[in-house]
A = this chain, B = another copy of it.
Amino acid sequence: MAVYTEVTDEALRAFLADYALGELLAFRGIAEGVENSNYAVKTSHGDFILTLYEKRVDAAELPWFLGLMRHLASRGVSCPLPVAARDGVALRDLAGRPAAICTFLPGTWPRRVRQQHCAPLGAALALLHAAGDGFRAERPNGLGPRAWAPLLDRCREAGDTVQAGLIAELDGHLAGIQRDWPHDLPRGHIHADLFPDNVFFLEEERGTPRVSGLIDFYFACTDFLAYDLAICLNAWCFEPDLSFNVTKARALLGAYRALRPLGAAELEALPVLCRGAAIRFLLTRLYDWTHTPPGALVTRKDPLEYLRRLRFHAEARDAAAYGL
């Protein structure tokens, strides 16, 4: 699914000639990631990931993403480190696309999230937030609260074909979210898409997972730090039947707070941040669902899974709903 741009051998060899990465040993498309084309590249110097940035990523923003990753890696975050070519430049062109080589990260992402994943995740998120400090440039969240009403409008016509009454329900939720949205929480650089397939783990000897890599920073932006937690609560703490696993939430939040304490305003805002995170993924999925032509080679994700999450958060009175 994740190879949209084919790279010829000649183009790859010419591209790699600009790097000091040794001899090319293997080159395989990777079936993960949904926005860009990713290839595993093995050279005599080791394993790397080559990413070709596809249309949905704005090329003008790539220097910010790569700069953030470089900053985070230099602060000890296990994220892909962009590899510069001999001329010092990491962002290049290949097969008509912006392209970059990053270091390969070990680990496997959890196809089934266990409670044991959630504490290491929370700690990794807190460390990510701390490490982002000092990276000066900001990137506004293009899929933040101001984007939701226009996105809902673009789904208005087709949305009720997915479920009767859906648009009216979302109008109600969105009005409430916008009314309750906080104005003044601690801000910083957030990942904003930290789903299980973007977090690699290795198992320690006793079967305890530890985070070995955070990947796919192409939604990263500058926003409320606690909103990243809300995204993780949505992405990691619901079971496949969409029941909420408060043990996972408590582990996630507890490990996060041990490294970066949450203020009273952040705790109070947690339910609305979770509602916001749920409607953000609901709306992009709903848009894709209703605008993807049949036959397109893209896996559409069910938007209604996020309606179930949204309804759960709408019932949450305070942070106690998340185990605090």
* A31 x B3 contact (CB < 8 A): yes
Chain B residues whose C-beta falls within 8 Å of the C-beta of A6 in the assembled complex: 111
A295 at the interface (CB under 8 A from B): yes
* A202 x B112 contact (CB < 8 A): no
* B111 x A7 contact (CB < 8 A): yes
Chain B residues whose C-beta falls within 8 Å of the C-beta of A108 in the assembled complex: 9, 12, 24, 26-27
Q: How far is the CB of A157 from chain B (nearest CB, A)?
A: 21
* A294 x B297 contact (CB < 8 A): no
> Of the candidates B7, B107, B296, which one forms a contact with A26 in the assembled complex, judged by CB atoms under 8 Å apart?
B107
Chain B residues whose C-beta falls within 8 Å of the C-beta of A202 in the assembled complex: 24-25
Chain B residues whose C-beta falls within 8 Å of the C-beta of A42 in the assembled complex: 47, 106
Q: How far is the CB of A2 from chain B (nearest CB, A)?
A: 6
A29 at the interface (CB under 8 A from B): yes
Q: How far is the CB of A207 from chain B (nearest CB, A)?
A: 9
CA distance A106 to B42 in the complex (A): 8
* B111 x A8 contact (CB < 8 A): yes
CA distance A9 to B295 in the complex (A): 31
Q: How far is the CB of A103 from chain B (nearest CB, A)?
A: 13
A291 at the interface (CB under 8 A from B): no
* B1 x A31 contact (CB < 8 A): yes
Chain B residues whose C-beta falls within 8 Å of the C-beta of A201 in the assembled complex: 9
Chain B residues whose C-beta falls within 8 Å of the C-beta of A107 in the assembled complex: 25-26
Chain B residues whose C-beta falls within 8 Å of the C-beta of A21 in the assembled complex: none
Chain B residues whose C-beta falls within 8 Å of the C-beta of A169 in the assembled complex: none
Q: How far is the CB of A56 from chain B (nearest CB, A)?
A: 18
* A32 x B32 contact (CB < 8 A): no
CA distance A1 to B32 in the complex (A): 10
A40 at the interface (CB under 8 A from B): yes
* A28 x B8 contact (CB < 8 A): no
Q: How far is the CB of A197 from chain B (nearest CB, A)?
A: 10
Q: How far is the CB of A108 from chain B (nearest CB, A)?
A: 4
A30 at the interface (CB under 8 A from B): yes
Chain B residues whose C-beta falls within 8 Å of the C-beta of A294 in the assembled complex: 294-295
Chain A stretch 23-71: residues in CB contact (< 8 A) with chain B? 24-32, 40, 42, 47
Q: Mark A102-137, 1 if CB is under 8 A from B, else 0.
A: 001011101110000000000000000000000000
A18 at the interface (CB under 8 A from B): no
Query: Which chain B residue lies CB-closest to A32?
Result: B29
Most buried by B among A2, A12, A200, A295: A295
8 new A-B contacts at CB < 8 Å, known A25-B107, A40-B40 = A1-B3, A1-B297, A13-B203, A25-B202, A26-B108, A28-B30, A29-B30, A30-B30
The 7 tightest CB contacts between A and B, nearest first, are: A29-B31, A27-B108, A31-B31, A8-B111, A294-B295, A8-B112, A3-B31
